[in-house]
Amino acid sequence: MSLAIMTSGGDSAGMNPAIKRFVEYAYEVGETPYLIYDGLEGLIDDKIFLGDLRDVDDIIYRGGTILRSSRSKRFFDIEYRKKAYNNLKKREIEKLVVVGGDGSFRALNQFYHDFQVPFAGIPGTIDNDINGTDYCLGVDTALNVIRTSIDEVRDTAYSFRRAFVIETMGRDSGYLAMVSALSAGAEICLIPEVEPDFASIKQRLSKDLKEGKIYIIAVVAEGTEQGKYLTQWLEDELGVESRLTTLGHIQRGGNPTVFDRLQAFEFVTYAINGLIAGRTNDVVVYKNSKYGYVPIEEVSSQPSDPRLMLNQAYLKEVEKLSM
């Protein structure tokens, strides 16, 4: 059997370790691995090559994805999907592994219903917003990048007695902001899933400032669209000189952490084993510290709630930072 792997959607640290494991494990179990470059666009444009151990020999420590990625409008057109299918057929590639988000999984699910090409999805997004799994590849690395950034900003905050608002990525999910605020000891955390109470925040921080606090760290999820507002609010309501720091795409890069490398190893192993066993359109998940499979329909049914991924004690602490 021939298998192919692709990375699609936003890149995340952990994708390269997954690609390395894919090639090595495919050969180990007697399958032929192919690499699809440039995501869905590459599938259409026939950027498909036989995977060689030399291709993946020096990539485990690199962020991003050596296969590159893309977002494809053409894949919505059945004629382009048919072209992609023919590219696989001429190489006798029977099954696919896709590392990406729920949009990528939905695209491959349509491809499966069109041409019966089974696929295994591996959740790879720093947003950590895929339903059915507690963890997605790249999240731990992103959190460590954010933690380092906040720790470094804190030096200036202390030196100038300022407030700093740190805006994290995450689309409509507040997971990165929530966990970062908790682990960095932030005074404020705003996420889309919790309605902020600015009056209570003012009362709480006014008391802290009177008692000697000299700087403030606030972590805001981009999905709230309140980064600029909060920065000005801190100056107007608390009289603290404030700065906004938008971390942006540095959160998606960086040397993959040990945890992301190990997760990549397990995700790919489960993906290939599932395909060999006859699974067709499942997503490999990590739930309650166990690996398993979830049908794509269940993954796509609703977004993940990041609040469910924290124990109740942590959740209560995070919610306090919004009020």
Helix, strand, coil % (nearest 5) of the chain? 50, 20, 35
Q: Which of 38, 45, 127, 282 is catalytic?
A: 127
**Can 127 be counted among the known catalytic residues?**
yes
Angstrom distance (rounded) from CA 238 to CA 201: 10
Helix 312-320 vs helix 175-184: crossing angle, to nearest 10: 90
Sign of the four-CA dihedral 222, 226, 232, 236: negative
Angstrom distance (rounded) from CA 5 to CA 223: 31
Phi, psi of 71 (to 5 degrees): -120, 125
The conformational region for residue 72 under phi > 0 = left, psi -120 to 50 = alpha, else beta, is beta
Q: CA triplet 97, 103, 109: central angle to 5 degrees? A: 55
User: Rounded to a whole number, what is the largest CA-CA distance in the chain?
Assistant: 72
Active-site residues, by number, are 127
